[in-house]
Amino acid sequence: MRIATVQWLLAVLPGECCWAVLAAIHSAGHDGANPFLQAGTIVAFLMVSTIPWAANVALPRFAGAIGWLLVVCLTASGGVIWPDSVHEVIFPIALLGASLHGRGEVLTIAVALSLVSMTIALTWVHRADIRLEAAQ
């Protein structure tokens, strides 16, 4: 589990560093509210840092990316119509720079989904018999 946790932290670190640099640049050059520090942006970062990683733990390479592209294409083509709160959790780009006042269900769903996905992934890693594979 420690290896999985460190691998997750290393996967999140580049995005977190870029986010911090962009927030600092925005603060230095603009007055007023910083969209990088709004609750919606933080929730979006939490979701994209946990859910995709957790979903791919037990899958072969690129399976999660292909599944996500399938969901995006189905939604973009009108094949699937999601309720607004589900749409914002699946595609958190709408949350960037947004305030979550009065949108508690989005926050609740996002945090719960992030925690549940990480818990399931780490439990799977803990219980799985994982063999090390040679680099190809």
**Does the pLDDT value for residue 90 go beyond 60?**
yes
Q: Write down the pLDDT at residue 13.
A: 92
pTM of the predicted structure, to 2 decimals:
0.72
Cα–Cα distance measured from residue 102 to residue 114, given in angstroms and rounded to the nearest whole number: 20
Domain range enclosing 113: 2-127
Q: Write down the pLDDT at residue 133.
A: 64
Tens digit of pLDDT for each residue in 52-80? 888 888 888 778 778 878 877 777 777 67
In the DSSP assignment, the letter for residue 62 is: T
The answer to whether residue 71 sits within a structural domain is: yes
Place of tokens 């992934």: 121
The answer to whether residue 14 sits within a structural domain is: yes
What's the number of domains the chain is made of?
A: 1
**Does the pLDDT value for residue 41 go beyond 60?**
yes
The answer to whether residue 107 sits within a structural domain is: yes
Cα–Cα distance measured from residue 130 to residue 136, given in angstroms and rounded to the nearest whole number: 17
